[in-house]
């Protein structure tokens, strides 16, 4: 009959033996994880980006391509239909310029009435301003007023476009 000073577990291992077994298992696990990490680092680290097909110059340029392209067209040259449409769009009568300018920039603040901007179509907000006369409003819009930036923040816009946008907003609030 085998006798032992330490108590036996059900499987017949002493507590010391099973503690060693657990420790060996844990060390094995850690070594396994380290090896997996090392393997993935080495296999990814040695990848050469320039050899990946998705990293080729053409593939990158295709990804960076803008959604739309703007070209200069000679209106008198024979045109493909798309170019014709572009010329037509550029030749919109000035009556629509106010709306276009408004939708391009002014609506950023006046659309929802942010930062105290009189809201588009809000008669109560516009009435006291309209009472000042269009010329005063033109000056405010072109030169700026308090939180209202000069030309809505786009100095490249023509004075006439700004005036048209003011008219557009004023008409909508009458
Ligand atoms: C960054 C926000 C912002 C943008 C963009 C903006 N506005 Fe304004 N606008 C304001 C604010 C704020 C006021 C109120 C200013 C005040 O009376 O203190 C205002 C007031 C005005 C007024 C009334 C001025 C007056 O004297 O009562 C006009 C007209 C006006 N804006 C036209 C325009 C036009 C036209 C555009 C586009 C070209 C434009 N705004 C874009 C913020 C903006």
CA 129 to ligand 1: nearest atom: 27
Q: What is the whole-number distance in angstroms between the Cα of residue 97 and the centre of ligand 1? A: 17
pLDDT at 91: 47
* Protein residue with its CA nearest to atom 14 in ligand 1: 117
Q: What is the whole-number distance in angstroms between the Cα of residue 166 and the centre of ligand 1? A: 9
Per-residue pLDDT tens digits for 35-51? 888 888 887 777 776 67
Per-residue pLDDT tens digits for 58-108? 787 777 776 666 666 666 665 555 555 555 445 444 558 999 999 999 999
Please write down the long-range contacts of 36-45, taking CB distance under 8 Å and 24 or more positions apart: none
Q: Is 167 in the pocket of ligand 1 (CB under 6 A)?
A: no
Q: Is 133 in the pocket of ligand 1 (CB under 6 A)?
A: no
The torsion of the CA quartet 84, 89, 90, 92, rounded to 10 degrees, works out to: 130
Distances from the Cα of 3 to the Cα of 12, 20, 153, angstroms: 12, 20, 93
Q: Is 141 in the pocket of ligand 1 (CB under 6 A)?
A: yes
């Amino acid at each position: 009959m085998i006798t032992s000073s330490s108590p036996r577990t059900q499987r017949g291992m002493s507590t010391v033996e099973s503690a060693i077994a657990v420790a060996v298992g844990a060390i094995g696990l850690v070594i396994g994880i380290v090896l997996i990490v090392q393997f993935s680092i080495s296999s990814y680290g040695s990848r050469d980006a320039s050899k990946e097909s998705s990293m080729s110059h053409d593939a990158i340029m295709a990804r960076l391509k803008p959604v739309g392209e703007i070209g200069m067209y000679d209106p008198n040259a024979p045109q493909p239909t798309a170019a014709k449409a572009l010329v037509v769009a550029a030749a919109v009568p000035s009556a629509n310029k106010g709306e276009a300018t408004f939708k391009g920039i002014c609506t950023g603040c006046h659309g929802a009435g942010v930062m105290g901007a009189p809201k588009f179509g809000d008669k109560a907000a516009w009435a006291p301003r309209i009472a000042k006369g269009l010329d005063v409003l033109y000056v405010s819009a072109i030169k700026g007023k308090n939180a209202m930036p000069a030309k809505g923040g786009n100095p490249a816009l023509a004075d006439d476009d700004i005036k048209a946008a003011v008219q557009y907003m004023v008409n909508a609030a009458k």
